Chains A and B, each alone.
Chain A
C-alpha cells in the first residue's frame, strides 16, 4: 500500500514537473534576425516579403492558417459562404481594440476593404481582392462581403496582408504616413523602427487573447549577410533567424546551441523560357532541355538535400501537391533529349543564354544545368545579372531563359494562376492556352478540394508538356533558434508567429 502511494506521489510530482516545464513563462525580450530590413510597416502598402514577418505580430488577420495550411479563425470567429461562393459572412470577435484604443468592429472591416480598393491610394492589395463588390455592415460584429464571382482562394488571401486590419482612426489621420506609425490589433504594438538597424515591438496589454503575448518585447534586426546572421544566433545574440542558408544546415543540425526546424515550404524554383522567339518558341527544344536535366542530382549536389526535386508549383503538404505530374519527378533521359533535338530540327544541338541573379548557390545551380545540358549537345551561356535588373528583364521579356522562382502562397491558386493565365501579371513566357485558362478559372470557382485538385492535375499535364516554365526544386523551409525559445509553431509559410512563444531562462 505504502509502495503504491509512493508510486502515485512520484507520478504526481513528475507530472507537475512536466506541466511546469510546458507552461509558458512571461517576460523577456525576443530578438529575431531577418534577412533584410523590412521597408514598409503598412500591410496595405507593403510589397516586400520580409515585411510580413513583422506584421504577424503587429496585426491580426481576419483568418489565419494552421500547420496543415487549413483556414482557422483569428479576428473572424466563424463565417458562412453562401450564394454559390459569392457571399462571405463573417462573425467578428467581440471586445477587440486597436493599439490606439479604436474599437475593432464590422465598420472597421468595411473601412479596411475600402482603403485597399481605393484607386487613389494605390494599394498593392487591390488586385488581390479586386473581386470584392460590396462590404456590408450587418451589425457591429457581423460583416458581409459580396464577390463579383466565386473565388475559392478568398479566405486564403485574407490570411495574409489583405486580411490584416489597420486602425481606421490612425489610417485616416496619417494617410500614407501610417507606415511610420502602424496601428493594428495584434499582440504586439509598434515602438520604433530605425532603418537597417532594428524594429521594436512591445506587448499590447489590452490584447484580446489573455493567453498569448508572453514575451515583453520583440526586437527585429536585419542581417543581409547570411554568415553574420548565423554567427549571431550561435553567439546567443538572437533567439531565432529567418532564411537559414542551405550551406549552414548540416552544421546547424548538429550544433547543440541551436535547434533547427525543417518543413516543406511553399516556394518553388525553376526556369522561365521565353516562348515567343527562338530558340524556345520551338516546343521540342524546350522538351529537349527539360529531358537533359537531372533534378535529383541537382538537389543533392548543389543543395545537399535542403531542397526537394520538383516537377510542379505545389510543394509537398499543399493542396494539390499530389495532383497530376506535380510530384512525379521525371528521370533524366539523354536519349529523349537527343530525339527532341532532332524533332526540333536541331539535331546538332543549339545554344541559348540563361540569366540568373548573383550568389554562390545560384551560380552553382546554373553551372550544373549548363553541364547537364552540355551532355545533350545544348550549349548554355550563363549571364549573371543584378537582381533588380534581372526583374526588369524578366518583366520586359528580354531573355531566353531565366532561373527564378516564387516564394509561394498557401492556396495553390497563388502559385499558378497569374503565371499561366492569358495576360496574367506574372506570365513571363508569355503563355496562352484557352484550355489552361478555363481550367485555371474553374479551379477558382470549384469549392471541393478534390475537384480543384483534379483541375490542377489536368493543368499540369498540359504545362509540363508545353513547358513555358521548367520546375526544378522546392526549397525546404527552415527556422533556426536557441533551445530556450519555446512554443514556436513552424508553418510552411515561414512566418514567425510569436503570439504563443515564450523564453525559458
Chain B
C-alpha cells in the first residue's frame, strides 16, 4: 500500500510538469497582448511598451518558462500582472471559498442523487422511476446561468428569503455564509445530481440482478438492508469515480455559477485572469487545478478498497 501510494505520488510530478508546459505555451498563443488588454484599447503605445517591458514580455517564451519554473520550484508562483499581488496569496484567499462551494455542491448532489437513484432502480419502470429520470434530465438540460438568475429573482428579489449573492467568510458570520451558499450550491448540485443519479440507477440495476442479492432476499432480509448495505455499497464504485472527477472539476472553479452569485472563487479568478491575460495568475490557477484533480483521483482510487474489499491496492509481484 505504501509503495503504491509513493509510486502514484511520484508519477504526479511529470504530469504536473507537462500540464504547466502545455498551459504556458497555450496562453502565449492566445491572441491579445496583456498590456493592450489591460488598457482596454485606451492607452497609448508608449505606455503599453513600458508595461510590456515591465512584464518581461519582451523575452522569448522558453526563457520566460525557465524563469517561471525556477521560481515555482522555490515555492514562488510569481506576482499578478494586474495588481502585483503574489499569486500564492491570491490562491490561498480563493481556496477556502472554492472548497466550501465544492463540498456543499457535492452534499446537495448526493442528497438528491443517492435516494433518487436507489429508488429509481428499486421501483424500476414505475412512476417513481420515470419521475426521477425526468427530473434528472431537467437537471442536466437546464443551463446553470438560467437556473441561477431564476433562483435569484425568486428567492432573493421577490421572496427575500436569501441574499442574492456574495460571500462572507464562515468564520466571520457562519449563518450568513450558509445563506449565501445555498443558491450556488443548489445550482451546481442539481446539475451534478442528474448524472450521478442516472449512473447510480444503472449500476444499482446491475447489482440488484446479481445472485448474492437474490440470496440476501431469500434469507428474508428487509428491503432496506438489502438495498443500502448490500447493493448500494457495491453499486457505488463507478459512482465514486464520477464523483471524484466532479469534485476535481469543482475545485478548478465553477465559472458561471461563481460569476452569477458573485462568489469570489477559483473559477472567476481563472476566467478574469485569462480575459486580462494575467499570465502568472493563469499559470498558478491551472497548476492548482491540476494538482487538485490528480489528488482527488488518487483519493478515489484509494477509496475503492474501502467500498469493495476485493480491490486491493498492491503492486503485482512479478
Contacts of B40 in A (CB 8 A): 47-49, 391, 407
Contacts of A66 in B (CB 8 A): none
A-B contact pairs, 15 of them (CB 8 A): A40-B82, A47-B38, A47-B39, A47-B40, A48-B38, A49-B40, A195-B83, A195-B93, A221-B262, A228-B149, A228-B259, A231-B165, A388-B33, A391-B40, A426-B41
Contacts of A134 in B (CB 8 A): none
**Nearest A residue to B80 by beta-carbon distance?**
A195
With an 8 A cutoff between CB atoms, is B153 at the interface?
yes
A376-396 toward B: CB 8 Å interface, digit per residue (1/0)? 000000000011110111110
Q: Say whether B36 contacts A392, CB under 8 Å.
A: yes
Q: Say whether B31 contacts A223, CB under 8 Å.
A: no
Contacts of A391 in B (CB 8 A): 32-33, 36-37, 40-41
With an 8 A cutoff between CB atoms, is A313 at the interface?
no
B49-71 toward A: CB 8 Å interface, digit per residue (1/0)? 01101100000000000000000
Evaluate whether A39 and B164 lie within 8 angstroms (CB atoms) in the complex, with A47-B40, A126-B46 already known: no
Evaluate whether A123 and B262 lie within 8 angstroms (CB atoms) in the complex, with A232-B165, A237-B166 already known: no
Contacts of B262 in A (CB 8 A): 197, 221-223, 228, 232
How far is it, in angstroms, between the C-alpha of A47 and the C-alpha of B277 when the chains are bound?
Answer: 14
B174 to A: closest C-beta gap in Å: 18
**Nearest B residue to A119 by beta-carbon distance?**
B50
With an 8 A cutoff between CB atoms, is A122 at the interface?
yes
How far is it, in angstroms, between the C-alpha of A48 and the C-alpha of B37 when the chains are bound?
Answer: 9
Q: Say whether A122 contacts B44, CB under 8 Å.
A: no
How far is it, in angstroms, between the C-alpha of A255 and the C-alpha of B260 when the chains are bound?
Answer: 22
B81-96 toward A: CB 8 Å interface, digit per residue (1/0)? 0111100001001100
With an 8 A cutoff between CB atoms, is A173 at the interface?
no
Binds A, one of B115-123, B203-211, B264-272: B264-272
Q: Say whether B54 contacts A235, CB under 8 Å.
A: no
Interface residues on chain A, number (Cβ under 8 Å): 49
A350 to B: closest C-beta gap in Å: 27
With an 8 A cutoff between CB atoms, is A227 at the interface?
yes
Q: Say whether B32 contacts A389, CB under 8 Å.
A: yes
A353 to B: closest C-beta gap in Å: 16
With an 8 A cutoff between CB atoms, is B197 at the interface?
no
Among the listed A232, A392, A426, which residue makes an inter-chain contact with B164, where contact means beta carbons less than 8 Å apart? A232
**Nearest B residue to A175 by beta-carbon distance?**
B84
B224-265 toward A: CB 8 Å interface, digit per residue (1/0)? 000000000000000000000000000000000001111010
With an 8 A cutoff between CB atoms, is B152 at the interface?
yes
How far is it, in angstroms, between the C-alpha of A65 and the C-alpha of B107 when the chains are bound?
Answer: 54
Contacts of A49 in B (CB 8 A): 40, 42
Give chain A's interface residues, CB within 8 Å of chain B.
Answer: 37, 39-41, 47-49, 119, 122-124, 126-127, 176-177, 179-180, 193-197, 221-225, 227-228, 231-232, 234-235, 237, 386-389, 391-395, 404, 406-407, 418, 425-426
Q: Say whether A406 contacts B90, CB under 8 Å.
A: no
The 8 closest A-B pairs by CB, nearest first: A388-B32, A122-B50, A425-B44, A197-B264, A124-B47, A39-B82, A389-B31, A388-B37
How far is it, in angstroms, between the C-alpha of A210 and the C-alpha of B164 when the chains are bound?
Answer: 36
How far is it, in angstroms, between the C-alpha of A389 and the C-alpha of B152 when the chains are bound?
Answer: 33
With an 8 A cutoff between CB atoms, is B170 at the interface?
no
Q: Say whether A231 contacts B259, CB under 8 Å.
A: no
Contacts of A392 in B (CB 8 A): 31-33, 36
Contacts of A404 in B (CB 8 A): 41
A423 to B: closest C-beta gap in Å: 10
With an 8 A cutoff between CB atoms, is B143 at the interface?
no
Among the listed B51, B85, B166, which residue makes an inter-chain contact with A195, where contact means beta carbons less than 8 Å apart? B85
How far is it, in angstroms, between the C-alpha of A425 and the C-alpha of B276 when the chains are bound?
Answer: 21
Q: Which residue, A119, A180, A194, A231, has most C-beta atoms of chain B within 10 A?
A: A231
Q: Say whether B42 contacts A39, CB under 8 Å.
A: no
How far is it, in angstroms, between the C-alpha of A231 and the C-alpha of B32 when the chains are bound?
Answer: 32
Among the listed B38, B43, B85, B149, which residue makes an inter-chain contact with A180, where contact means beta carbons less than 8 Å apart? B85
Q: Say whether B157 contacts A122, CB under 8 Å.
A: no
A210 to B: closest C-beta gap in Å: 33
With an 8 A cutoff between CB atoms, is B10 at the interface?
no
How far is it, in angstroms, between the C-alpha of A146 and the C-alpha of B131 when the chains are bound?
Answer: 79
Q: Say whether A228 contacts B41, CB under 8 Å.
A: no
Q: Say whether B83 contacts A180, CB under 8 Å.
A: yes
Q: Say whether A47 contacts B157, CB under 8 Å.
A: no
Q: Say whether A194 contacts B264, CB under 8 Å.
A: yes
Contacts of A235 in B (CB 8 A): 152, 156-157, 160, 163-164
With an 8 A cutoff between CB atoms, is B275 at the interface?
yes
With an 8 A cutoff between CB atoms, is B22 at the interface?
no
B184 to A: closest C-beta gap in Å: 11
A422 to B: closest C-beta gap in Å: 14
Q: Say whether A231 contacts B157, CB under 8 Å.
A: yes
Among the listed B36, B165, B277, which residue makes an inter-chain contact with A237, where contact means beta carbons less than 8 Å apart? B165
How far is it, in angstroms, between the C-alpha of A125 and the C-alpha of B132 when the chains are bound?
Answer: 61
Contacts of A177 in B (CB 8 A): 84
Evaluate whether A228 and B164 lie within 8 angstroms (CB atoms) in the complex, with A194-B93, A195-B269, A196-B272 already known: yes
A426 to B: closest C-beta gap in Å: 7
Contacts of B46 in A (CB 8 A): 126-127, 425
Contacts of A179 in B (CB 8 A): 83-84
Evaluate whether A237 and B47 lie within 8 angstroms (CB atoms) in the complex, with A122-B54, A392-B31 already known: no
**Nearest B residue to A46 by beta-carbon distance?**
B38
Q: Say whether B42 contacts A406, CB under 8 Å.
A: yes
Among the listed A123, A222, A234, which residue makes an inter-chain contact with B157, where contact means beta carbons less than 8 Å apart? A234
Q: Say whether B152 contacts A228, CB under 8 Å.
A: yes
How far is it, in angstroms, between the C-alpha of A48 and the C-alpha of B33 when the chains are bound?
Answer: 15
If A388-B30, A395-B36 are given as contacts, then 17 extra A-B residue pairs at C-beta distance below 8 Å, sorted by A number, are: A39-B38, A39-B83, A47-B51, A124-B43, A126-B46, A179-B83, A180-B84, A193-B83, A196-B269, A224-B268, A225-B259, A228-B259, A231-B149, A232-B164, A235-B164, A388-B275, A391-B32
**Nearest A residue to B262 by beta-carbon distance?**
A223
With an 8 A cutoff between CB atoms, is B295 at the interface?
no
**Nearest A residue to B148 by beta-carbon distance?**
A228
Contacts of A426 in B (CB 8 A): 41-42, 44
How far is it, in angstroms, between the C-alpha of A425 and the C-alpha of B289 when the chains are bound?
Answer: 40
Contacts of B275 in A (CB 8 A): 386-388
Q: Which residue, A228, A387, A393, A425, has most C-beta atoms of chain B within 10 A?
A: A228
Contacts of A395 in B (CB 8 A): 36, 41, 45
Contacts of A407 in B (CB 8 A): 40, 42
With an 8 A cutoff between CB atoms, is B298 at the interface?
no
Q: Say whether B44 contacts A418, CB under 8 Å.
A: yes
Contacts of B36 in A (CB 8 A): 388, 391-392, 395
Contacts of A225 in B (CB 8 A): 145, 259-260
